[in-house]
Chains A and B, each alone.
Chain A
Amino acid sequence: MRPTPQLVTVLLFCTAAFGPAQSAEAPSAARDLAWGEVLYEHFQDESFRALVRLAAAESRAELSHHAEDAALLRGGTYLAWGLRDRAESIFLSLLEQGTTPERRDQAWYWLARIRHERGEYADAYAALERIGDALPRAFDPDRNELTGRVLIALGRHDQAVSRLSTPDYPGAWRAFADFNMAVALSRAGQEEEAVAVLRRVGTAEASTEETRLLRDRANLALGLAYLEAGDPDSARLALDRVRLGGPFSGRALLAAGWAEAQRGRFRAALGPWRQLTATTEPDDARLEALLAVPWAWHQLNARGESVAGYEVAVAACEAETERLEAALAAAAGDGLLPMLREEDFSSNGPLGSYMHALAADYPFRTAMADLRDLDHMAENLSHWQRSLVAFRDMVDARRARYERVAPGVREAISADRIEELEAEYLRQQARVRQLTERPDPLALASPKQRDQQARIEAARARALSLPESSERAQALDRLRRLEGALAWRMHAAWPERLRALQKALSQSERLLAQARARHESVKAELAAAPATFTGYSVRIDAQADRVESLLSRVETARARRLGEIRVLLLDSLERRRQRVAGYLGEARFALAAAWDAAANGPVAESGSGAAQAPEASP
């Protein structure tokens, strides 16, 4: 049995005792954020994404606390996908590196499963023997079950019985263990004990669909065993417990009819047989019942009914043969892959009902699961392929924009005179500092005041050029007063003007700093811009090649899986065709024998030369 991802989850993370129907519990706290993300994807049943996230986290060294957990998860997931070799190498690598006893025991457990799946039972048993005491308790039922099946496969039935009869099976696991124990007992030749165990399974309460199926199966096996032993009464009791509508109902109804026939109650045998023939399921039990019904009529000496029944059986077998021919053609044709991708098998035309029946078959189910996984991978890779095209377009757009914009930006940067402005700022800063240290109201005088000061000085110069006179003295005095008044006003305005100047200088400093930052930013961006497209093309091309290669590998794997499914399907259909051919042969022969008996009497041939017909029987 290949473990499902759910089983992997349960066994990897379950910390408490659990039964067949118990769901996975949450794992212990993640100590690495990336591990938490991996678990999130895993618990969303997104195993593929979980592995991608895991690979990314490992490449970034983000799993310092959960590297070994990651190895177990990866190995378990690969195993769930049927990639046994890769899973095995991971578990072996974990063992070689050395790990905690708990993880070591888990690795041995998974190795045992892998080897069991490969049919390497002795190696599987050796791996099971390597498991120590540190395996989490949650593994116990599964480990015991696996050990039991490995022992049965090795022909060590007594040991298997011993293992399966331990009380270490919680809840519904007990019934499953009992069933397998019955198998081991019967193979060990202890048929009475096997029947007793089957009887226990067949009469036990069943609370889940799975256990009800198990009960049906046990009762069918029990009924057939009783029939074989010539005990039709007990057979009928066991068979009566099989549910109608279940996967075992057809064979149970058929066997119930034979139980009645064995009791000599041929009319009673017709009950279950006719109920079976009334179905439309193309299973072997129905075809056998179609043969059994006219046989029973023959026993009841109702020859007309018997002949009619055989004619119905012949027609049914011929129709089934035609359906099988169509199904074989469909299975061999190009349209198989789209049919396999249909969610509902019954919509698959001629293959529908056969695929539905085959879906219960483990190798087919496994191959189908692989095909779906590969489809998922191909879808992911195609998505990445499309994304890489978009990335390439993005890079090209960046380069084009850079090439279009960069010259203008360079020109603008070179023309922004930021250095000149900074020099001017420094000059102004020095001037303000000088003015602050040595106040000079005239330096900050208004233009009008400057004009007034200039006019005063011009007038004084003219006055001084005049000969000494009172007018000259008065003029100079007047000018001195004017200058004094002007100086007064300038001094009065000085503090305000100095503060305004300082404020303007401060503002200039801010603006200049912003301008410098922008300048540098633009320069940096300009310098960095090529990095946003330079080299990406190569990387994108490399990734595109890789994706292409992966897609090709996925396609190859998908074609291989499709081929395997086709072989399984064709093999199954061919085997069924042969079985139906057998039924058809029996039906045709029985029909001929019935006509023969009607014409010549129901006697067997002897050497007397008289015309004698064989008796019709299925």
Chain B
Amino acid sequence: MSAVALIALAGLWPFASGTDTPDPVPTVADAVPVEIVPGRPDPDSDPQKAADAYAAFLASPAAADETLRLTAMRRLADLRLDAAEAAVAEGRPADAMLAESVSLYEQLLSAPALTDAPSRDHWLYQLARAHAMAARTQAAEAALAALVNEYPGSPMAPEAWFRIGESRFASSDWAAAEEAYRATRDASAGGEFAEQAQYKLGWALFKQARHEESFPAFAAVVDARLAEKPLAEQDAAGRELVEDSLRAMAIGFAALDGPESVARWLDSVPSAAGWAWLAWARLGDLYRDNERWTDAAAAYA
């Protein structure tokens, strides 16, 4: 506020007459600071109380300030979703909280004032999360699809693609899942979801019996893992991941030309030299388990 506005606020002084009265002495200068010592302890950490306070704010006609209202909406939505997640984990009902959360995220996403908000990808992600917790998979996938379509560069895009892939995979839509996993892999090069995307991409191709195409995906997982440390030193998850990949590859080799397929494929992948024996071994194991002794002997050989 400028001085102009301030004086205008003070207004023009209307001339009038008055009578003499004694000058009262106390002024603002006499409003001396009182001895102020905080006596109340810090409030307990209570997300429920915070959520209820935001809800009270939003339910009242006082929520006229759009900035505050939208902030309260997003905070309430996040807090309700967190509470719902905790409730689900504890086996308590969470439908009401999830419904409120979904409603709030949808309002935020449709608010004209927020069409360019930087957090829209986050709200789409949270909306998908809420739908997923409520077992509304299609709605969840739709929210994730909106996220990756509207915000392909979002940090949450790889996870969103991956979750889309998982959803499609779960519904046996292998080709669509393949597409999502490829998108995850491309968006998350070296990132959190890169390995899982490769692994699931392999499986999506495997499910389509496109074994030769699945081998590079599985091989990339095995390659990366074993480049870090030998199989024996992998943790359980790592070992399982490598073993599953090798087993899937073995099934693929078996479905093709068996040992010849292995030889042909390994020849084209120089990086696999270090763990090629594992591929042969897992193929042998497969034959052995299927009592195809001759083939097993060939593989082991």
Give me the interface of A with B, judged by CB distance under 8 Å: 1, 4, 6-7, 10, 20-23, 141-142, 145, 149, 152, 173, 176, 179-180, 182-183, 186-187, 189, 191, 194-195, 198, 206-212, 214, 217-218, 220-221, 224-225, 228-229, 239-246, 249, 252-253, 256, 267-268, 270-272, 274-275, 297, 300, 302-305, 307-308, 317, 362, 578, 581-582, 584-589, 591-596, 598-600, 605-609, 611, 613-614
Contact = CB atoms under 8 A, between A and B. Distances in A.
B14 A189 contact: no
A579 to B, nearest CB: 11
B50 A599 contact: yes
Contact of A22 (B8, B9, B17): B17
A514 to B, nearest CB: 67
B16 A271 contact: no
Interface string B85-108: 000000000000000000000000
Given A183-B8, A239-B28, A607-B119, A599 B46 contact: yes
Contacts of B23: 206-207, 212
Interface stretch (B71-79, B138-146, B225-233): B71-79
Contacts of A588: 53, 56-57, 60, 62-63
Interface of B: 1-4, 6-21, 23-24, 26-34, 36, 38-47, 49-50, 53-54, 56-57, 60-65, 68, 71-72, 74-75, 78-79, 82, 118-119, 121-122, 125-126, 154-156
B5 to A, nearest CB: 8
Contacts of B79: 596, 611
Given A253-B31, A256-B28, A607 B75 contact: no
B18 A21 contact: yes
A4 B16 contact: yes
Given A304-B43, A308-B40, A589-B72, A191 B15 contact: no
A145 B60 contact: no
A305 B33 contact: no
Contacts of B31: 244, 253, 256, 271-272, 275
Given A186-B4, A253-B28, A302-B38, A605 B82 contact: no
Contacts of B61: 581
Contact of A210 (B9, B16, B42): B16
Contacts of A305: 38-40
Contacts of B44: 598
Nearest to A252: B28
A58 B280 CA distance: 131
Find the residue from B10, B13, B29, B78 having the highest chain A CB count within 10 A.
Answer: B13
- The 4 tightest CB contacts between A and B, nearest first, are A304-B40, A210-B18, A592-B53, A271-B33
A228 B1 contact: yes
B75 A605 contact: yes
Contact of B156 (A186, A607, A611): A607
Nearest to A271: B33
Contact of A595 (B15, B30, B43, B121): B43
Contacts of A7: 16-17
A81 B29 CA distance: 42
Contact of B27 (A1, A195, A221, A240): A240
Contacts of A221: 6-7, 9-10
Contacts of B20: 21, 207-209
B173 to A, nearest CB: 27
A242 B29 CA distance: 8
A598 B43 contact: yes
B3 A186 contact: yes
Contact of B19 (A21, A141, A297, A594): A21
Contacts of B8: 183, 186-187
Contacts of B28: 239-244, 249, 252-253, 256, 272
Nearest to A145: B15
A241 B29 contact: yes
Contacts of B63: 585, 588-589
B191 to A, nearest CB: 14
Find the residue from A210, A245, A594 having the highest chain B CB count within 10 A.
Answer: A210
Nearest to A293: B36
A184 B38 CA distance: 46
18 contacts: A20-B17, A187-B7, A210-B17, A240-B29, A243-B26, A267-B36, A302-B40, A305-B38, A581-B62, A584-B60, A588-B53, A588-B60, A596-B75, A598-B44, A607-B154, A609-B126, A611-B82, A613-B50
A591 B53 contact: yes
Contact of B12 (A180, A229, A611): A180
Find the residue from A189, A252, A272, A362 having the highest chain B CB count within 10 A.
Answer: A272
Given A584-B62, A599-B50, A189 B4 contact: yes
Contacts of A586: 65, 68
Contacts of A307: 40, 43
A20 B19 CA distance: 9
Contacts of A187: 4, 7-8
A304 B42 contact: yes
Given A186-B7, A220-B10, A303-B42, A176 B2 contact: no
Contact of A208 (B19, B27, B42, B118): B19
Contacts of A585: 57, 60, 62-65, 68
Contacts of B75: 592-593, 596, 605, 613-614
Given A187-B4, A256-B31, 13 more contacts: A180-B13, A183-B8, A191-B2, A191-B4, A244-B28, A303-B43, A588-B56, A588-B62, A592-B53, A592-B56, A594-B43, A599-B45, A599-B46
B45 A182 contact: no
B8 to A, nearest CB: 7
B13 A214 contact: yes
Contacts of A598: 42-46, 50
Nearest to A601: B45
Contacts of A21: 17-20
A152 B269 CA distance: 88
A191 B7 CA distance: 10
Nearest to A209: B21
B99 to A, nearest CB: 19
A211 B21 CA distance: 11
Nearest to A266: B36
Given A252-B28, A300-B38, A611-B79, A179 B13 contact: yes
A8 to B, nearest CB: 12
Contacts of B49: 595, 599
Given A176-B13, A302-B40, A606-B119, A596 B54 contact: yes
A599 B2 CA distance: 39
B19 A229 contact: no
Nearest to A267: B36
